[in-house]
Amino acid sequence: MTDRTWHASTEQLHGFANHSELMEQTTAASLEAHLVGCDACRRGLAEAADPVTIASSWEALTDRIDQPRRSMVERALVRLGARSGWARLVAATPGLRASGFAGIALVAAAAVAMARGIGAEGPFLVAAPLVPLAAVAVSFRPGADPIGEASVATPMHGMGLVLRRAVAILTVSFALLGVAALALPDLDLEAAAWVLPALALSVGAIALSTWIRLETAVAVLGGGWLMTLTAIWWLAGRDVVAVHSQSFVLATQLTALAVGVVAMAVVGARRDRLATLEAFR
C-alpha cells in the first residue's frame, strides 16, 4: 500500500518538526506512519529541526547515562551520610565486596559452631581476632586499590583514606563477629574477650606496615597471637580450664589494650609513610 518512491516535502517536514500538534489530524497520522519506515525523510526531518534542541536533548541524556553504577555498599554509605565521593572510594575497598562479607561470615559461623560443639567459648575467642586481621591484609595489600599506582599520586591518598577504609572494614568485621557471638554457648563478659585483641591485631598490622611489608606484618601478628595463646596454655599447666582464670584473661585484655593504643599512636606519628607506595610493600 505504501509507495516508497514518495517522500515528504520540506514544508511538511518543517511543519511536523516544529509544530506537529497544529497539523491536520489525518495528514499528520499518515506522515507519522511514513516516517517509521523511511530513513530519508527522518534525515530530512532532523535537518528541518533546530540543531540546538537536538544537542541539548543529547546533553540531558548524557547526564543520565553517564552515572556510574553504584554498588550496594556505596548506596548504604551514602544513606549513612557519607558524601558521594568518599562513599565511592570507601566502597571500592576489596574487603567490602560480597566475597569479603561471605568469607567473614563463614569463618565466624564455623568458629561459633565449634564453640557450641565443645560447649565452651574457646575456639571462637581464638579465631575471632584473626578475622579483622585478615580483612586488613586483603584490603591494604599493594595493588588492592582498584586503581593501583595511579591512586598514590593523588591528594586524597594517604591517612584520611586509609582510616576511612579501616573504619569501614573493621566495623563490618566486628559487626558480623558480634552477631555471631550472640550464638555462643555462654553469654557472659568473656564472650566479648575477643574485641580488644582483634583491635590490637588489626591496627597493629597497619602500624607495622609502615616499617615492613603488610603481608609480613600480618603473618607476624597472626602467628604471634597463636603463639601467645599457646604460651598461656602452657603456663597454666596445659589446663584449658585454667586458661580462663581471671588473671590470664585480665592480663591478655590489658596487653591487647596497650598494644592497640600504641599501634594507633604509631599510625598517627608515621602517617607520612602511609602516603607512598613503600608503605604497603
Partner 1 sequence: MTTTPTISLVGVSKGFGSTIALDHVDAAFAPGINGLLGPNGAGKTTMLRILATVLPADQGRLDVLGVDPTTGDGRLSVRRRLGYLPQEPGFHRQFSAFDFVDYVAILKEWADRKTRHDEVRRVLGLVDLDSVMHKRIGQLSGGMRRRVGIAQALIGRPDLLVLDEPTAGLDPEQRLRFRELLGTEASGATVLLSTHQTDDVAALCHNVVVLLSGQVRYTGTPAGLAALAEGRVWLAADRDLRAELAWITGEGRVRHIGDPPAGAQLVEPTVEDGYLVLAGHQAHAAPLAS
Partner 2 sequence: MPTDQELVVAVADGDRGALRELHDRHVVWVTARLRRRCSDADAVADAVQDTFAAVWKGAARWDGRGDPAAWIWGIAIRRLIGTLRSRNRWSRALAAAERAQSEVVVAAEDQVLVGIEHGDLAGALRSLSPELRAVVQATVLDGLTTREAGRLLGIPAGTVKTRMMRARAELRGVLA
Binding site for partner 2 (CB under 8 A): 1-3, 6, 8-9, 11-12, 16-17, 20-37, 39, 42-43, 45-46, 48-49, 54, 57-58, 60-61, 64-65
Q: Evaluate the CA torsion angle 150, 162, 106, 212 in order and state its sign.
A: positive
Which of the listed partners (partner 2, partner 1, none) does 224 bind, with a CB threshold of 5 to 8 Å by partner kind? none
Cα(104)–Cα(262) distance, integer angstroms: 26
Shortest spacing between CB 144 and partner 1, in angstroms: 9
Shortest spacing between CB 67 and partner 2, in angstroms: 10
Give whichever of 25 and 246 is closer to partner 2, judged by the CB atom.
25
Give whichever of 9 and 154 is closer to partner 1, judged by the CB atom.
154
Residues 155-174 that bind partner 1 (CB under 8 A): 155-158
Cα(206)–Cα(210) distance, integer angstroms: 7
Residues 67-106 that bind partner 1 (CB under 8 A): 68, 83-85, 88-89, 92
Shortest spacing between CB 64 and partner 2, in angstroms: 5
Give whichever of 139 and 202 is closer to partner 1, judged by the CB atom.
139
Q: Using the rule CB under 8 A, is 239 a contact of partner 1? A: no
Shortest spacing between CB 68 and partner 2, in angstroms: 13
Cα(34)–Cα(228) distance, integer angstroms: 83
Cα(14)–Cα(41) distance, integer angstroms: 11
Give whichever of 80 and 153 is closer to partner 1, judged by the CB atom.
153
